[in-house]
Amino acid sequence: MERLEQWKQRLLEAHNSTPFAEKKIVFGEGAAAPVLMMIGEAPGGDEEKQGRPFVGKAGKNLSAFLEKVGLEREEIYISNVVKLRPTKESPKTGRAVNRPPSGEEIEFFLPFLLEEINIVSPKIIVTLGNVPLKAVTGDKSAVIGDFHGKPQPLPDGRILFALYHPAAVIYNRALQEVYDKDLTALREFLEGGLS
């Protein structure tokens, strides 16, 4: 996809003049014009090492997700709002640990994400957690508790299907049932036939 390549070059150039220019960029990957584009928050350590989104532990979660909704990784497109790993120094070990993306990081990457969505042109956008939900809706007050588990039309004709972030489900066991129900709803929506 030539447009995507040009977009990547523009992102890399703009990234060069940010305060986080030394951080490695992890681009999205997957099918063009897919039925579903999944958008996470930001890459973690495994993603930064391998230069690919949703690998390592998050990749295992993704595989479980795909199995539940009846899709293959190659059929979808996978990306993140922030395309570098946000880290801070652990006071205990002095090593880099994950932190939530900053407002500055989100603001830098947001216009690129919106362009990426247009180029990739998915029918359905699945957001994981609050960061991509706010990014895709353009509504900073949007919260996952209100949006999850049901298809929502977006102004551009695509459909948003918001999910909790799998990491939140791991930390909050009570969400497991909700998350499972949401995946069943997504599967049924996908099976309902999209023209």
Contacting positions for ligand URA (CB under 6 A) = 40-44, 47, 53-54, 58, 80, 128
- Our CB check for ligand URA shows the closer of 109 and 192 to be 109
Shortest Cβ 82–ligand URA spacing (Å): 9
Shortest Cβ 38–ligand URA spacing (Å): 9
Answer yes or no: are the C-beta atoms of 140 and 132 closer than 8 Å: no
- Our CB check for ligand URA shows the closer of 126 and 128 to be 128
Shortest Cβ 157–ligand URA spacing (Å): 25
Helix axes 103-120, 130-137, angle to 10 degrees: 60
- Our CB check for ligand URA shows the closer of 15 and 165 to be 165
Q: Which position's Cβ is nearest ligand URA? A: 40
- Our CB check for ligand URA shows the closer of 41 and 105 to be 41
Shortest Cβ 170–ligand URA spacing (Å): 11
Shortest Cβ 61–ligand URA spacing (Å): 8
- Our CB check for ligand URA shows the closer of 98 and 152 to be 98
DSSP string computed for 114-171: HHHHHHH--SEEEEESHHHHHHHHT-TT--HHHHBTSEEE-TTS-EEEEE--HHHHHH
Answer yes or no: are the C-beta atoms of 31 and 75 closer than 8 Å: yes
189 contact partners, CB below 8 Å, separation of at least 6: 124, 151, 161
Phi, psi of 92 (to 5 degrees): -80, -50
